[in-house]
Structure 1
Amino acid sequence: MPGDSLTALVRFGPLVFPAALGRGGISSFKREGDGCTPRTVMAVLGGFRRGGMLTPDRSATRLFRAGDTDGWCDAPAHAAYNRQVRLPFSASHETLLRDDVLYDFGFILDWNIRSRRRGAGSAIFLHVAKPGFPPTQGCIALKRRDLQRLMPFLRRGTLIRVV
């Protein structure tokens, strides 16, 4: 939103939604752990949703149901860096089944996945925001209802532009 480098407006056709960005703001030089949202164009590669949740997702992208064995590796030195992994997992990772609502619905964005560089950042998702839009760890986060309004239009290959 104007004057705040940690929030943004997401535009899709005539729709405009407020969003939270990374605690480090937007960066053209994204690095693992910097908390920045990468300044780039990222394609939607896939998505996930909380397993066991009964809320219909109406997503144009098939969402896999994340359970307690689903994680995402964020350890640059590991061979599975910036990949989905099965828990328990010995290297540093993020758990996709969280105690909060952030990953009730999430879309995997192609940041450092198809052409991976160690240390260039991992796990950039479009997901549900915390109330009040506090910064993320680098992801883009929308109100749950706003994300649900967009989900029917988010297909594999849909481009998300961060400027």
Structure 2
Amino acid sequence: MKTVLVRPAPGGRSRAIVQVGPLRIPAAIGRAGRTSRKREGDGGTPIAAMPLLSGFLRADRVALPKTALPMRRIRPFMLWCDEPGHPSYNRLVRAPFRPSHEEMRRKDGLYDICLVLDWNVTSRRRNAGSAIFFHLIRPGYEPTAGCIAVARRDMLRILPHMRRGTVVRVL
């Protein structure tokens, strides 16, 4: 699969449809909807073409799914820096880490399968947004902080079609 499309859906600005080939999957996006001017903490999902870089999974909760995308097991020390002024901004870091960060090993299961989108990763700009992931959804398709989220069963259906470089295009 070369491109995954993410289109707005009826039902509010934080709802979307993810299209993977012939599959159309309901999704949640940022609480502020889509934005062409992504900023750290704005709650918007960037309108952009973002290649997939890699993925993470909670091996204690999910069996490694079939996929050509490089996947890493999430360890308790894994964090993601979201502090714009820090040299490790928008990068995986190790605990203990005092600056602002996200825990990759979440209790709520959202990152049990978590794919890293190349938003502000390979070429970083301060305050341009961090931790833009394609991950699992909260019950009721609650909005994300800027990520794209789908149900676990849907993620498991689309992962076999994903590989490094697959473009996730938010329209």
Please give the range of the TM-score, normalised by the shorter of the 2 chains: over 0.9
Q: 2:45 aligns with which of 31, 34, 37?
A: 37
Matches within 5 A, 1:10-159: 10-159=18-167
* 8 A contact 2:55–2:72 mirrored in 1: yes
Over residues 20-55 of structure 1, what are the superposed CA-to-partner deviations in whole Å (9 max), with x where a residue is unaligned? 000111000000000110000000000000142352
Number of residue pairs matched by the alignment: 163
Runs of 4+ in 1 over 3 A off after TM superposition: none
Over residues 63-94 of structure 1, what are the superposed CA-to-partner deviations in whole Å (9 max), with x where a residue is unaligned? 10111100100000000000000111011000
* 8 A contact 1:51–1:67 mirrored in 2: no
Where 1:132 maps in the other structure, the secondary structure is helix
Gap change, CA 1:29 and 1:54, over 3 Å in 2: closer
Q: Which residue identity does 1:82 align to in structure 2?
A: N
Over residues 128-147 of structure 1, what are the superposed CA-to-partner deviations in whole Å (9 max), with x where a residue is unaligned? 00111000010000000001
In 2, the alpha carbon distance for the partners of 1:8 and 1:52 equals: 29
Sequence identity percentage: 51
Gap change, CA 1:103 and 1:2, over 3 Å in 2: same
> Structure 1 residue 5: deviation in Å?
1.1
If the length of structure 2 is used for normalisation, what is the TM-score?
0.92
Q: Which residue identity does 1:56 align to in structure 2?
A: L
Structure 1 gap segments, 5+ residues each? none
In 2, the alpha carbon distance for the partners of 1:54 and 1:90 equals: 29
* 8 A contact 2:137–2:151 mirrored in 1: yes
If the length of structure 1 is used for normalisation, what is the TM-score?
0.97
Q: 2:4 maps to what in 1?
A: none
Q: Which residue identity does 2:36 align to in structure 1?
A: S
